[in-house]
Structure 1
Amino acid sequence: MPLSLNMQFNLILYSSIAGFITGLLFDIYRGIRGLNSIKVITIIEDILFWVLTALIIFTFLLYTNYAFLTPYVYIFIIIALLIYLRLFSKYFYSLEKLLIKKVNTIIRIVFKNIIYPIKIIFSKVMDKSK
């Protein structure tokens, strides 16, 4: 039985959204992974990432279009992923790197401000013990 036009439109829409979600997850993973020099760890991380992404996308498609996994779904996921990688990935990735850099700076400043009084107290205690 052919699908209704509304169902076909939803199939295309949700497949395209799944492609964009895959692109976002890939950019987040790329930011987290960084540059590993150990090939075995990189291979294991890649496999785990793609398994997790497949589970997330399948769950998304299961809730949105009852997991109709036709060739068109795969085609639209790939097309949306390529569009995301071509048009939006560089902006999202640079924003992600900037955000990580700012968060690291804030954490470093807070950590140093917390440790500084402890260093002073510790140095005073050690001087009195002599």
Structure 2
Amino acid sequence: MPLSIDVQFDIVMYSILSGVLIGIMFDLYNIIRGVKIPKIIIILEDILFWVLTAIIVFTFLLYTNYAFLGPYVYIFMIITLMIYLKLISPTVLKLERYIIDKFSKVIRVLFKNLIYPVKIIYYSICGKK
């Protein structure tokens, strides 16, 4: 029995959203991965990243369209991923780096402010100035 138009539209929209999700996760992975790493570690990281991505995308599609994985779902995911990487990725990459920089700065300041009383207590116990 053929699927109705609204179900087919939902399947296409969710496959497009999963392509964007893969692109965002790939950008985050590129930020986290680093530059000067041995080749074997890069290979292991890549394999782990794509396994994790496959699990996340399959779970996303399972909850949104009951994991209906027709050929056009893969086609739309790949097309959307290529469009994302060419057009949208540079902007999202800058935004992700900005958010990570600000978040790390907040964490660093909080850590320094929270550790300062511990240092004062430690130095007063040890007798150091």
Q: Same fold (TM over 0.5)?
A: yes
Residue correspondences, number: 128
Quick one: distance in 1 between partners of 2:13 and 2:36?
36
- Residues 48-80 of structure 1 show CA distances to partners (whole Å, capped at 9, x for unaligned) of 110111111111112222222121111000111
Quick one: distance in 1 between partners of 2:26 and 2:105?
24
Q: Indicate conservation of the 8 Å contact 1:36/1:42, yes or no.
A: no
Quick one: distance in 1 between partners of 2:67 and 2:41?
32
Q: Any gaps of 5 or more consecutive residues in structure 1?
A: none
Shift of 1:17: 0.9
1:82–1:122 distance in 2 versus 1, CA, 3 Å: same
Quick one: distance in 1 between partners of 2:125 and 2:6?
75
Q: Which runs of 4+ in 1 moved over 6 A?
A: none
Quick one: distance in 1 between partners of 2:125 and 2:69?
68
Identity of matched residues, %: 56
Shift of 1:106: 2.3
Matches within 5 A, 1:83-122: 83-122=83-122
- Aligned twin of 2:20: 20
Q: Any gaps of 5 or more consecutive residues in structure 2?
A: none
Shift of 1:121: 4.9
RMSD: 2.1
> Greater Rg, structure 1 or structure 2?
1
2:74 matches 1:74 = yes
TM-score (norm 1): 0.83
TM-score (norm 2): 0.83
Shift of 1:103: 2.0
- Aligned twin of 2:40: 40
SS at match of 1:2: coil
- Aligned twin of 1:4: 4
Amino acid at match of 2:42: T
- Aligned twin of 1:31: 31
Shift of 1:97: 0.9
Quick one: distance in 2 between partners of 1:117 and 1:10?
55
SS at match of 1:37: coil
